[in-house]
Amino acid sequence: MYKVGIGYDVHQLESGESLIIGGVDIDFDKGISGHSDGDVLVHSIIDSILGASSNGDIGKHFPSSDEKWKNFSSLKMLSFIYNDLIKRDFKIEHIDAVIILQQPNLSRFIEKMKINILENLNNEKCTVSIKATTTDYLGFIGEGKGIACQAIATLSKK
């Protein structure tokens, strides 16, 4: 039996913040404003995995009201979720994600993002697809004020 979950995350972009996506620190004049490192890709993947396994959402496990998670690595959050909630009952079959950001172009970073995600899933034998798109200058993302990501995870019951 397969289970499917959807994840979504959005953050503001601000000067003086780091732009970390998929665990890759990207040199850019704006970064993601968030309680943890704000990694929208990893956050949406975590939510998609949690949804597929009926384990709530990222806020339930890593509440922004808890200072313990301030500036915390989202990749470490992914590792915790996988090791503590997922791997004993489920196999991750596939993850598909799309990052929505006007600038910078992310194409040269995507392979490293995939590697980072798989490493934090203990090199689970799953496939990971990451794409990036723009909004053609429409809305707050097109104006360079924000970033979003959507992800879908397919899990099978062990």
- Domain of residue 14, CATH code: 3.30.1330.50
- Number of domains into which the chain is organized: 1
Q: Is the pLDDT reported for residue 34 higher than 90?
A: no
Which tokens in the block code for residue 113? 């993002």
pLDDT value for 35: 83
R_g over Cα of the chain: 15
10 in the Ramachandran plot: left (φ > 0), alpha (ψ -120 to 50) or beta? Answer: beta
For residue 64, name the pLDDT band (cuts at 50, 70, 90).
Answer: confident
Distance between CA 143 and CA 155 in Å, rounded? 36
127-146 per-position pLDDT tens digit: 999 999 999 999 999 999 99
Which tokens in the block code for residue 142? 């097109």
pLDDT value for 124: 84
Structural domain including 124 reads: 2-157
What stretches of 7-107 show up as alpha helix (H) in DSSP?
A: 40-52, 58-61, 74-81
Q: Is the pLDDT reported for residue 157 higher than 90?
A: yes
